[in-house]
Amino acid sequence: MLTLNGNNFFFFYGDVSGVNIFPATLEHGYLLILNDDLDGAIRVFSDLDSPRAKWALVLISILKGFLDKYPTYFQIRNFYEIDLDFLLKNEKIAYVEQLLGALEIFSSINQEVYKYAARVMYENKLYSAALKYMNKSKKIYYNDAELHFMLAKYYLRVNDFEHADFYINECLNLIPEYYPALVLKRQIEEQWF
């Protein structure tokens, strides 16, 4: 059994002092990634039969700098955003750069991947990077209501009410009853007018 040092690793728990990680588990493989033992992580993930472990093998190939097996649409949808956030929070910047470098390839498999990257950047307060990836996403798939909602949030945050209003209206044109967008529309109007 392995334990986490709360000063060094973030495993989506506020307090990791009581977290135990057992050998040959997904958590063990991810801990090995954080310790830069990619070959050890490959051994762990290769012995596991789960969708997450199969994605993790693709992830490791990206982290090593080559993509020998392409991920599926669902692997990207289900795990890319989580792992990008995980690596960013653990300050594995070289790994983050590798994952961001794979975006162009991944966008041919899952057209929403730039939006996933944008959401991670936004939630981690990397706003200019978030905007960059939202704009890339917009070029691939403009009619994405969630993307327009994200853009409206971004522009409201920087007090650009004209753009915020434009994007929230684009969102609501696609999904008129999208409740979070209706709430954000009211916020924009209250602050702008």
Look at residue 170 and tell me whether its pLDDT is greater than 70: yes
Closest C-alpha to 114, from 125, 126, 105:
105
Look at residue 149 and tell me whether its pLDDT is greater than 50: yes
Alpha carbon distances (Å) from 20 to 15, 32, 52: 12, 14, 19
Q: For residue 156, how far is the Cα from the chain centroid?
A: 22
Alpha carbon distances (Å) from 173 to 84, 89, 92: 31, 35, 39
Look at residue 1 and tell me whether its pLDDT is greater than 50: no
Instruction: Please compute the mean of the pLDDT values over residues 127-135 and round it to a whole number.
Output: 98
The token pair at 29 is 């493989």
Question: Looking at the chain, how many residues does it have?
Answer: 193
Place of tokens 């009581």: 18
Look at residue 3 and tell me whether its pLDDT is greater than 70: no
Sign of CA dihedral 123, 126, 127, 130: negative
Place of tokens 């991947």: 113
| Share above pLDDT 70 across residues of the chain, in percent, rounded to a whole number | 92
Mean pLDDT of the chain: 93
The model's pTM is 0.91
